[in-house]
Amino acid sequence: MRRKMCAAAGAAAAVALLAGCGGQAATGDGDSPYNGSEIEGAFTLPSTEFTDNKGEPYELKADSAGTYTAVFIGFTNCPDICPTTMADMSQAAGMLDEAERDQFRTVFITADPERDDPELLDMWLGSFDPSFVGLTTDLEKTDATAEELGISVSRPEDRSGDYQVDHGGQTLLFDPEGDSKVMWSYGTEPEKIAEDLETVIGEDA
């Protein structure tokens, strides 16, 4: 799969996002010890109740504690950006050694809970990696979570036909305490993501 969005656009978006959420020090790739943008502590996983893709309750902060957690917000009717990102995360995880992989998980939160029920999430995520966790909750909690994480979500008023949900394309990595570490913009190559994961996991080892 080829990608169109250029690195410059991604970097610009990252800077804009950081500027928008209260002036983090990192201003570009030059200052980041990672391939992605450093977002040390800029966001914290909220203690929001979700239902996971197996139909079990999942409290975002508590149930993610103890592992490095990558969070992406998307929807399964998204044919281009979302599957590409999930495939990249799966490939990146595959590049880790087993000990690293045990400390890492990927969480996909649906921005479209009206269509994405646990069953559909389970089927969809199973195409990438059966270890991925898919989360759904009501619209209000979904939007509140997205806001907490600095990820924009915008849904059309009329959701009758084949509608699309616009959403930020970034993936955020949280440490085992639920504090943000790294942000990857859409199109970051799996090798680069894997390198960052190794760095982050290695820092605490």
Partner 1 sequence: MGARGTAVAASALGALALAAGCGPQEPRIEAADATVRVPLNPDVTSAYLVIENTGGADDTLTGVETEAADEVQMHESVEKDDGTTGMEERAEIPVKAGETVEFASGGLHLMLMDPEELDAGETVPLELHFAESGTVEVQAEVEDVMGEGGQDDGGMDDTGHQDMDHEDMGDMDHGDMQH
Stretch near partner 1 under the rule CB under 8 A, chosen from 45-53, 54-62, 80-88, 137-145? 80-88
* 37 part of the interface to partner 1, by CB under 8 A: no
* 89 part of the interface to partner 1, by CB under 8 A: no
* 3 part of the interface to partner 1, by CB under 8 A: yes
* 91 part of the interface to partner 1, by CB under 8 A: yes
CB of residue 196 to partner 1, shortest distance in Å = 16
- Which residue from 74, 127, 132 is spatially nearest to 106, judged by alpha carbons? 132
Measure the CA–CA gap between 183 and 170, rounded to whole angstroms: 7
Rounded-to-10 torsion of CA 127, 194, 22, 84:
-30
* 4 part of the interface to partner 1, by CB under 8 A: yes
Q: 182, 33 in Cβ contact below 8 A?
A: no
Stretch near partner 1 under the rule CB under 8 A, chosen from 26-34, 44-52, 101-109, 159-167? 159-167
Quote the tokens at residue 84: 């590409």
DSSP string, 117-183: -HHHHHHHHHTT-TT-EEEE--HHHHHHHHHHTT--EE--S--SSS---EE---EEEE-TTSBEEEE
- Which residue from 60, 63, 61, 40 is spatially nearest to 180, judged by alpha carbons? 40
Residue 63 or 149 with smaller CB distance to partner 1: 149
Q: Using the rule CB under 8 A, which residue among 153, 172, 182, 201 binds partner 1?
A: 153
* 128 part of the interface to partner 1, by CB under 8 A: yes
* 172 part of the interface to partner 1, by CB under 8 A: no
Residue 34 or 72 with smaller CB distance to partner 1: 72
Amino acid at 140: E
Positions in the binding site for partner 1 (CB under 8 A): 1-5, 9, 13, 16-17, 20, 76-77, 79-81, 83-84, 86-87, 90-91, 95, 120, 123-124, 127-128, 152-154, 162, 164, 166-169, 186-187, 189-191
